[in-house]
Amino acid sequence: MTDAVDLGVTLGTQRLRNPIMTAAGTAGYGVEFSNVIDLSVLGAHVVKSLAIFAHAGNPRPRLAPLPGGMLNAVGLPGPGVQGWLREYYPPLLRSGANFGVSIWGRTIDEYVEALEVLLAGAPEVAFVELNISCPNTEAGDRLFAHDAKATTAIVRRCRRVCTQDLFVKLSPNTEHVVEVATAAIEAGASGLVAINTVFGQWLRGGEPVLGTRRGGGLSGSQIHGIALRIVADLRAHFPDIPIVGVGGISTVDTVISMLAVGADAVQIGTANFVDPRRPQLLVEELAARLRSIGSDSLREYLMDLRNS
């Protein structure tokens, strides 16, 4: 039971019932996991990245389990925004879940068009996450999130058509994370999501394990320390900007660590591939942890933790 503990957090204009969210790309387009998890008990569910066009993604194999994590080069396959509106949006809306949608494209115009179609067809979307940092597309390492000017241009255009909270997902694969984040905020972003996967490669028998052969995005517990450092740096530079922390979060201790360094909410990603129930279980485990130390308020507990 979580009712006796106030896990509520503020994220932009949203008041979330708790800080636990799914990470885009790890829990489907809608309610695919409804047989094992109740999305409505989470702070939010983030829909897998959608483009204005349907996309097949990268050649298989796309996923490779590694010690302490996973390497993926899925390549953002999906039904496109219009396909999502037809097939996935109605049951997701009926589920009672608070949800955001991740958007991607190859050009700024494609991002803007996807946003326009999405928000016209699904006004109930609570927030939008701009995925400008996926390492597994044909762009390779030439990402919007690696260049402050490119980030300014895309966020400014998207902000003009988006009245919802607009979060920008940052890449850890650049030394300019804070510079890019500053550009995003100054261009109109509501907040930041940190981090996306880390560039990686893995071989078996001397051969790359993924179909792209050029590697993919490393995720899981191996990158948790990287994510913590980046979120802490962002919080130091942006005391009042909403920040969502993501990267290697699978236990209540890693949730608390991410919140302690300054994240307002967290996203659960790779852990969903191991156990799709993990986000809901973390809500329960976080409440149990607070009860065990005699606290009935996450906000008060974090204030004490950050000031200690």
Rounded to whole angstroms, the maximal C-alpha distance in the chain is 54
| List of residues 6+ apart from 204 with CB closer than 8 A | none
Tokens 């309610």 sit on residue: 31
Which helix H or strand E contains 57, and what residues bound it?
none
Alpha helices in the chain (DSSP H): 80-87, 89-94, 108-121, 148-161, 177-186, 224-237, 252-260, 271-274, 278-292, 298-307
Out of 27, 50, 134, 193, the active site residue is 134
- Exposed, middle or buried: residue 120 (CB in 10 Å: 0-12, 13-18, 19+)? exposed
- Is residue 247 within 8 A of residue 195, CB to CB? The reply is yes
134 is catalytic: yes
DSSP letter string over 18-50? SSEEEPTTSS-SSSTTTTT--GGGSSBEEEEEE
The dihedrals phi and psi of 276, each to the nearest 5 degrees, come to -60, -15
Could you give the CA distance from residue 163 to residue 119 in angstroms, rounded to a whole number? Answer: 9
Could you give the CA distance from residue 52 to residue 112 in angstroms, rounded to a whole number? Answer: 9
Q: Which residues pair with 199 in a beta bridge?
A: 217
Q: What residues are labeled active site?
A: 134
